Chains A and B, each alone.
Chain A
Amino acid sequence: MNNRIQQAFQKQGKKLLNVYFTAGYPRLHDTVPVLKALTTAGADLIEIGMPFSDPLADGPVIQQSSTVALQNGMNMRVLFTQLKDIRNEVPETPILLMGYLNPVMQFGVENFCREAAAAGVDGVILPDLPLDDYVAEYQEIFRRYNLKPVFLITPQTAPSRIRRIDELTDSFLYLVSGPGTTGGANTQAEGVQDAYFQRIEDMQLRNPRLIGFGIADKASFQHACQYAEGAIIGSALIKALDGTDDAPAAAAKFVSSVLN
């Protein structure tokens, strides 16, 4: 069955901008207005972060936004309530939920998938979900609800493992740009990073790729787009939302600054 993520990659001739923001940040009820503002401003895919107390793959900016969101009262039930009618307002843009396995497990994986599908969510990113566990326990459930899992690939991921991830995926591959957590400065020499992107491109994988981690502005977005179908921005957007009274306006302005 086709879903919105696949459609987005099929119909677009241009490079795709995927933006991440944390649900319930900066205020509990900013989730939907920010989501709408991001799509109106031209974001092609949206990742909604499900806040977690101990997010291992994230840097300080996203961790801080998660802490604020949790303090605001965000949790899975609240998020699904907020997203309930989202498809009336944002009919086409693919929406992914990104978070960590423990809150999903406590909610119940099947419950989570059912609620996500009912809200019109298209994909799920759980960085600490092991591939083997996904295949053994969750793949069937994800399929039943037409939710596409997205897996990460790093410069250290072995070619055989990249092939396996590509086989298990039918949405896109999330290329982590270099060593580090989200929002980190890219410490790698540009040549090293480009060689890695090129190496992955040369593997002629079946899925399209989006590059994430350390992408912060128009220049880094465009650079990443040379080697992939698009790129993912998270921490830089969260920073732009920090301290603002009008989160949707700040979100829209940020997207415009990357795209225009």
Chain B
Amino acid sequence: MTPTTYKEPTARGYYGQFGGAFIPEMLYPNVEELRDNYLTILADPEFQREYQQLLRDFVGRPTPLFEAKRLSKKYNTRIFLKREDLCHTGAHKVNNTVGQILLAQRLGKTRIIAETGAGQHGVATATVCALMGMECIVYMGSVDMERQRPNVERMRLLGAEVRPATSGSQTLKDATNEAIRDWISNPVDTHYIIGSVVGPHPYPDLVARLQAIISEEMRKQLLEKTGSELPQYVVACVGGGSNAAGAFYHFLDEPSVQLIAVEAAGHGITSGHSAATSVLGKPGIIHGSRTLLMQDEDGQITEPYSLSAGLDYPGIGPLHAYLAAEGRARFISIEDEPALRAVAECSRLEGIIPALETAHALAALGQLGAGPDDVVVINLSGRGDKDLETYMKYADTIK
């Protein structure tokens, strides 16, 4: 059955067969409290006034929609970059954390926890906690702490405590496990700011709604610049999928707009070192949600791989799993190397050094099949400063 809207999950948080809330009883009251209140709080005019004001004056929205003329020339199509890299803290993540910190305040919470992969969500959470004077603890895989050291230092400078996750692959998946355990141990005073459209209902819907500002602005800006609110393509990278959810949101129910989700294929889809969940995953449960999940035949979660810490996750958000299953979004896999080359291309053609995550989306440009009259919007989800050490290490590839 074709749904009337892709945006809305059911009351129990399902997008088709994906979603739900598979959580231990210890988390039930927290998640229930959130579920029962988030829509009312988001709709409250006072919340909206405060949220919009912070987006404008603190985050720096609206972010520009920049016509990338030299990239356009190279790919013989009309390319726009939605400049989420110009958000305060350097990525789209802050749209969500600003919203959730206001939500946490209204729920009477005094302590904030978060998980982070690349560190962008951790920095965004530490930032809003500093802004609001709230205690902040960020869980980060010890491998990620190593490869994203500048962000660890940023979080500390902002007053957050960064706790290493040392189990499993010591990356985003394990940081998320630790954050969930913290929440289990601190069920009353703590709000867990999840950084992507993953986790138990209502998180996927909550985070998508807070990131939807991206596509809301895109439509207005496209109308001004092209005469039409609707492009032919919207392209975004997907780890958990929050920047893609935000970029797709207001186009989900516009069938003429092709939605392109770009996953990290690491060393190659069949190499055993990949994070391309839509290709390698099967329906399963991770972090409280039924979605596509990389796992072995016994249902043990497989450790994913990507050079990009932000895409190094064995699942995707249930909305994206649904878009993949319904064929509403097209999924493209990009390996480490072409992503690194896309970093150089964007830097030299447009004067913008993208995050390694975003570079995967840029690297998909050649595969879209877009023509000279088509409008392509790429969500430039973050800036590359945090990846400089990686870029230096792979200078030969980038050259």
Contact = CB atoms under 8 A, between A and B. Distances in A.
Nearest to A181: B181
Given A52-B300, A181-B184, A102 B25 contact: no
A158 interface: yes
A179 B173 contact: no
Given A54-B168, A106-B295, A179-B184, A70 B24 contact: no
Interface string A158-186: 10010000000000000010011100100
Interface stretch (A22-30, A146-154, A203-211, A216-224): A146-154
B299 A104 contact: yes
B352 to A, nearest CB: 37
A127 interface: yes
A38 to B, nearest CB: 25
A183 B301 CA distance: 23
B128 interface: no
Contacts of B30: 156
Interface in A18-62: 52-54, 56-57, 59-60
A53 B301 CA distance: 6
Interface residues of B, number: 35
B20 A105 contact: no
A106 B184 contact: no
B23 A101 contact: no
Given A106-B284, A128-B23, A179 B29 contact: no
Q: How many of chain A's residues touch chain B, expressed as a range?
A: 35 or more
Contacts, number: 107
A67 B174 CA distance: 13
Interface string A114-137: 000000000000011110110000
B140 interface: no
A170 B184 CA distance: 26
A170 B186 CA distance: 30
Contacts of A132: 12
A84 to B, nearest CB: 18
B22 interface: yes
Given A102-B286, A103-B300, A106-B284, A56 B25 contact: no
B168 A53 contact: yes
Give the 6 A-B CB pairs with smallest separation, nearest first.
A106-B299, A103-B299, A152-B25, A127-B24, A57-B24, A156-B29
20 contacts: A54-B286, A56-B24, A56-B177, A56-B181, A56-B184, A57-B24, A67-B167, A75-B298, A101-B22, A102-B286, A102-B299, A102-B301, A103-B300, A106-B295, A106-B298, A128-B23, A156-B30, A157-B29, A184-B185, A187-B185
Given A56-B24, A102-B285, A105-B285, 14 more contacts: A52-B300, A57-B184, A60-B167, A63-B167, A102-B295, A103-B298, A127-B24, A133-B22, A154-B25, A156-B28, A157-B25, A179-B26, A179-B187, A181-B185
